[in-house]
Amino acid sequence: MAPIGRRDVFCSLGQIIRTLILFALFCAGLMIAATANARAQEAAAVSDAQFKSFVAELWPDARKAGVSRATFDAALAGLKPDPSVIAITGKQSEFVKPIWHYIGSAVSAQRLERGNARAKEVESFLGRIETKYGVDRYVVLAVWGMETNYGGFSGKMNVVRSLATLAASGYRGTFFRDELIVALQILEQGHIEPENMLGSWAGAMGQTQFMPSSFMKYAVDWDGDRHKNIWTSTQDALASTANFLSAHGWVRDWTWGYEVILPQGFSLLKHEPNVDRPFADWARAGVKIADGGDMPRQGEASLLLPAGKTGPAFLVTTNFQAIKSYNTSTAYALGVALLSDRLAGGDALTGKWPLNERMPDADQSLELQKHLVRMGYDIGKLDGKIGEKAQSAIRQYQRKAGLEPDGFANMALLDHMRHSH
C-alpha cells in the first residue's frame, strides 16, 4: 500500500469540508422552503371573523345573481372556514411523476375490470346518450372512471364551505368567489340540498367532477326528474359529461387518435409535434398505425410524443382537444383516451415507455424552466410543472441547440442546459 502524503490528507480534508458545506446549504435550503411554505399557509389562513365578514360582503352579489336570502342562509349561516382546504393549497409535490406512471394507473387492471362491469350496468341508457350527443360512449365511461372510479368516490367535502374558504382567502383571485355564487344559484334552482352538495377540496362536484360553472352550462336532467343531479343520478352525470364534450368540439363518428409507429430516421425537424397535418401527409412520411390498420384518408392530426421520440407515439385529432377541455393536462387526456380504447376492447400499447429514463423532480423541473426563461423563452407559469408552453419552448431550444426537438423534459436536457450556459 502506498504511503499517504500530506498533500493527500489536505485534499481529503478539503473534500470533506466541501461536502459538509454543500450539505449545510442543502439543509438550509430545505429549512427556508419549509418556512416559506408555512408562512404562505399562515398568510392564506382564514379566521372565523374574516370568514364571517366575507360572507356578509358576498350577500349583495348573491342577491343580484338571483339567490334568495333563505337559500343563502341555508348554505352559509353558521358555516366556518375549513382549515384542511387551506392546507391542501400549500402542499407541493416532492416529485413530478413521469407520464408512464400516470398512464399505468389510468389503465390499470383494476380500473378496467370495474369499468367493464359498470359499462354493463349503464348500457341501456349510455347508448342513447351516445346517439343524442355523438360522443363515443367509451370516452364518457373513461372520464367517469378517471374522475371518480366510476362513481366510487366523488368527494365528501362540503362544496359551499370549500369554495367559501378558498374565496375568503383570496386564493386564485376571484375565481372561487365566482364559483361560489354559481353554486348558490344551483341550490336556488333546487337541484341538490346544501348538505348533499359534496365534492373535492376545490369544489369539483359529482360523479364526473363538474365545477359549478360547468354544471350551470352543461348539466343535463337525463332521467327526467326535473333535477340535474350529477351526484346520485348516474344517468344525469354521464349525459352531462357527453353534453360537455359535445359542446367543446367533439366530432361525431370520429376518433380521438391512434398509436403510431414512426419510421427509421423520422425527422422531427420536418414534422414538428403538436402541429396539425392531413393524415395523408403522415402516411407519406412513413408513419403507420400501430395495430396495422389503415391510415385515414381524410382529416388532420398532430403528432404527440409524451415521452419523447423513444416512447410511444400518437396521432391525435380534434377530439383529443375536446377531452383536454375537460382537464388541460395532456397526461389526463391521454389517460382518458387509452382507457376508452381498452374499455372498447382494444389492445395495450405497442410502444414501450422509457422506464429507465432519468427524470427531473419538481425542483429540477423548476430549474429547467428558469434556464428557459433566462434564454428568453415563454414557458407560462414558473411552477416546476412542464406544460404545453414549456414543451414548446423546449422544442425551440432543442432546434437552436441542434437537438432532436421532441419537447421531452428529461435530465439529459437539463444537463445540456447546465453545461451550455
> For residue 35, what pLDDT is reported?
38
The strand pair at 277-278 and 288-289 is best described as unpaired
> For residue 93, what pLDDT is reported?
52
252 within 8 A of 139, measured Cβ to Cβ: no
Q: How do residues 383-403 score in pLDDT, each as one tens digit?
A: 899 999 999 999 999 999 999
> For residue 28, what pLDDT is reported?
38
Owner of C-alpha cell 470533506: 16
188 within 8 A of 67, measured Cβ to Cβ: yes
Q: How far apart are CA 378 and CA 360, in angstroms?
A: 20
**What nine digits make up the cell of 385?**
410543472
CA dihedral 9, 15, 17, 23 (to 10 degrees): -150
Give phi and psi for 304, each to the nearest 5. Answer: -115, 120
Residue 30 pLDDT class (50, 70, 90 cuts): very low
CA dihedral 267, 272, 278, 282 (to 10 degrees): 20
Residue 89 pLDDT class (50, 70, 90 cuts): confident
Q: How do residues 117-148 score in pLDDT, each as one tens digit?
A: 999 999 999 999 999 999 999 999 999 999 99
386 within 8 A of 365, measured Cβ to Cβ: yes
CA-only gyration radius of the chain, Å: 26
Q: How do residues 144-184 score in pLDDT, each as one tens digit?
A: 999 999 999 999 999 999 999 999 999 999 999 999 999 99
22 has pLDDT over 50: no
Residue 45 pLDDT class (50, 70, 90 cuts): confident
Predicted TM-score (pTM) of the model is 0.87
DSSP E strands, 288-414:
288-289, 300-304, 313-316
CA dihedral 247, 148, 201, 77 (to 10 degrees): 80
Give phi and psi for 256, each to the nearest 5. Answer: -75, -30
> For residue 95, what pLDDT is reported?
55
- Name which of 28-42, 72-86, 185-199 the model is least confident about: 28-42
